[in-house]
Structure 1
Amino acid sequence: MSQVFKQDLTDTADRPGGIFFVELLMAEHCDMPDREHMVEVFTKHLGTVDCFSYGADSAGFAPRNYK
């Protein structure tokens, strides 16, 4: 695959509560991973996290070590 996906970094507006804001750039749609799997992966890389929002289109997590 030679297509490169890039994030628009010109938007410098503050994002509410966001230390980390991740927007996945994908060629094809995929299903949202289940909440427990996301907690497991984030915890592995960031330490303990709190899930404050989870739905079909978005999820919000707050890593306790990075407040």
Structure 2
Amino acid sequence: RGLGVGAALVRGLEGAAAQLGLRAVDLHAQTHALGFYERLGYQAYGPEFEDAGIPHRAMRRVL
């Protein structure tokens, strides 16, 4: 954490998605990680839900 590895991974995946012609990336983020994804331009939508007993929110970033 704090080394930029996570952000670099997300940006790499976004680049691959853009090369495939995708216009947006959607993900399910654990609620404690919302801030991380928000700093990368993702916006939460819809209600909170549980996955594997952990609260999550759907998020999207238009590429």
Which TM-score applies when normalising by structure 2?
0.31
Q: Which of the pair is proportionally richer in strand?
A: 2
* More helix by percentage: 2
Bigger relative contact order, structure 1 or 2 (CA pairs below 8 A, ≥6 apart) = 2
Please tell me whether Structure 1 or Structure 2 has the larger radius of gyration of its CA atoms: 1
